[in-house]
Amino acid sequence: MSTGAAPLDHVDRALLTALQQDGRATVGELAERVSLSPSPCWRRVRQLEEQGVISGYHAHLDRRRVGLGVLGFVQLSMHNHTAAVTTAFEREVVALPQVLSCHNLSGRYDYQLEVLAPDLESFAEFVRTSIRSLPGVREISTSFSLKEVKRTVALPL
């Protein structure tokens, strides 16, 4: 089974690791970290972008400092699993900015959403009005993060 993964050599992996640590690093800084001259380093980064290995550059924000104090996980079971219902459900979930991630699961629940809100009242209102009204939703179970032990977007290379 093909994963569509681009073949990565040790230099590509070193570049990707360096970019995950500091997405604002200059080509010169990256080149120094991976022992390349700037031109080949720039070409490699550009190729990784074109291949979709690097899908973007982002600022990592502290959710609490921007007023999003509640992090919850919403598990959903669906009424049915027709293509039309799941497509409509997924399209509407993608449009909800409060939803950080949505995963189609194996096991008891069909989907798990990672949801942010300013406070418990706002979270509850969002679940009651937005989540409950999504196409095909039958059952909802919610859990809250009491303590975030680890969060990273860096992939283990």
Statement to judge: residues 119 and 74 lie in one domain: yes
Q: What CATH number is attached to the domain comprising 126? A: 3.30.70.920
**Parent domain of 36:** 10-50
Which tokens sit at 67? 């007023």
Statement to judge: residues 16 and 75 lie in one domain: no
Reading the chain (157 residues) residue by residue, the pLDDT tens digits are 446 676 899 999 999 999 999 999 999 999 999 999 999 999 999 999 999 999 999 999 999 999 999 999 999 999 989 999 999 999 999 999 999 999 999 999 999 999 999 999 999 999 999 999 999 999 999 999 999 999 998 999 9
The answer to whether position 68 is within a domain reads yes
What residue type is assigned to position 120 of the chain? L
157 CB-near residues (< 8 Å, 6+ apart): 8, 13, 16, 17, 20
Statement to judge: residues 89 and 129 lie in one domain: yes
Instruction: Give the CA diameter of the chain.
Output: 57
pLDDT of residue 5: 75
| Contacts of 45-51 spanning 24+ positions with Cβ under 8 A | 45/15, 45/19, 48/6, 48/12, 48/15, 48/16, 51/6
pTM of the model: 0.86
Q: Residue 114: how many CA atoms within 13 Å on its side-chain side?
A: 8
Statement to judge: residues 45 and 82 lie in one domain: no
In sequence order, the β-bridge partners of residue 99 are 115
pLDDT of residue 1: 44
